[in-house]
Amino acid sequence: MKLTLEKQFQLNLKKNKLKFSVTVTLKKDVLDPQGKVVQNTLVNMGMNNLKNIRQGKHFEIEVDENDIKIAQKKIDEMCKKLLVNLIIEDYKINKI
Partner 1 sequence: MKSSVIVFPGSNCDRDIAVALEKMQFKNKMVWHKETSLPKSDLIVIPGGFSYGDYLRSGAIAGKSLIIDEVIKAANSGCLVLGICNGFQILTETGLLKGTLLRNKNLKFINKNVNIKVINNDTKFSNKFKKDEILKINIAHNEGNYFTDKNHLEELNKENLVAFKYCDEKGNINEEANPNGSLENIAGIFSQRKNILGMMPHPERMVDEIISNRDGINLFSSLLN
Is residue 82 part of the contact set for partner 1 (CB under 8 A)? yes
Q: Least CB distance from residue 8 to partner 1, whole Å?
A: 27
Q: Does 33 bind partner 1 (CB under 8 A)?
A: yes
- Is there binding between residue 53 and partner 1 (CB under 8 A)? no
Task: Using CB under 8 A, pick the residue from 3, 37, 43, 50 that binds partner 1.
Answer: 37
Alpha carbon distance 3, 6 (integer Å): 8
Out of 88, 90, 93, 95, the only residue in the binding site for partner 1 (CB under 8 A) is 88
Closest among 66, 49, 56 to 91, alpha carbons compared:
56
Residue 93, classed as helix, strand or coil, is strand
